Amino acid sequence: MNIALILAGGVGNRFGNPTPKQFLAVYKKPLIVYAMEAFQSHPEIDAISVVCLEGWEKKLLKYVENYKIKKFKWIFKGGATGQESIRNGVFGLEKVCKQSDIILIHDAVRPLVSHEIISECIYACRRFGSGIASIPCVEAILKKKEVFIGHEIVPRESLVRTQTPQAFRLSKLIWAYREALKRGITNSVAACTLMIELGGEVRLCHGSEINLKITTSEDLEIFKALLKHKRKLKKNK
């Protein structure tokens, strides 16, 4: 099976809103619902699970009911860090899924993930063992030695910006998050970074600038504009 593991365990301190950003409504629909709907409508996705911020479980289940997310199966407790949240989800899925299942880890605050990106991550994972949505760096990249002083050029040709989904076989994820506990690795920011910290490599797939992560209020305004544009195009077809 291909299973989406949607991460909605964050508090969102950087966003400056009392409501965690994954539960903020945009055009009367919460951000996490946009993400769930992308996987719900994808023909290759068999099930959806969510790592949820503690205290928001009932709200999430209400969304699932109201928006008819029929592929939703499991809910897991969010952690204090992103790594802990993913680990909770992985160890939860270990109890209910097969080791050979493909798990697509996805941020609840990436509401515009496309079917094409999801499909490519699944394909890459089947063929190469992993599939990480990513986009090239197009800006000039500098290292800084103080807050406002850049002092070294980093060749952008050698860099990519990773996104989600990040697809792995469940067996690989179980191994990685158990191994991290053994080695004392506690704050790897993503599944792909943990795999590399453990000495591995990952397969990169095509992402998209539209697959943005809602981190700031400016990101939210960009999302609103993109969504409005998509709705206008659909209406004019």
H/E stretch holding 171 reads helix 170-183
* pTM of the full structure: 0.95
Residue 236: predicted pLDDT: 73
Reported as a pLDDT band with limits 50, 70 and 90, residue 229 is confident
Reported as a pLDDT band with limits 50, 70 and 90, residue 12 is low
Write the pLDDT tens digit of every residue in 124-137: 999 999 999 999 99
Question: How far is residue 162's CA from residue 3's CA, in Å, rounded to a whole number?
Answer: 20
Q: Which amino acid is at 51?
A: V
Q: Is the pLDDT of residue 211 over 80?
A: yes
Domains of the chain: 2-236 (3.90.550.10)
DSSP letter, residue 214: -
Which of 45, 173, 47 has its CA nearest to residue 119? 45
Question: How far is residue 126's CA from residue 4's CA, in Å, rounded to a whole number?
Answer: 15
Question: How far is residue 98's CA from residue 22's CA, in Å, rounded to a whole number?
Answer: 29
Reported as a pLDDT band with limits 50, 70 and 90, residue 94 is very high
Write the pLDDT tens digit of every residue in 115-164: 999 999 999 999 999 999 999 999 999 999 888 899 999 999 999 999 99
Which of 127, 93, 109 has its CA nearest to residue 5? 93
Beta strands 2-8 and 47-52: pairing type?
Answer: parallel
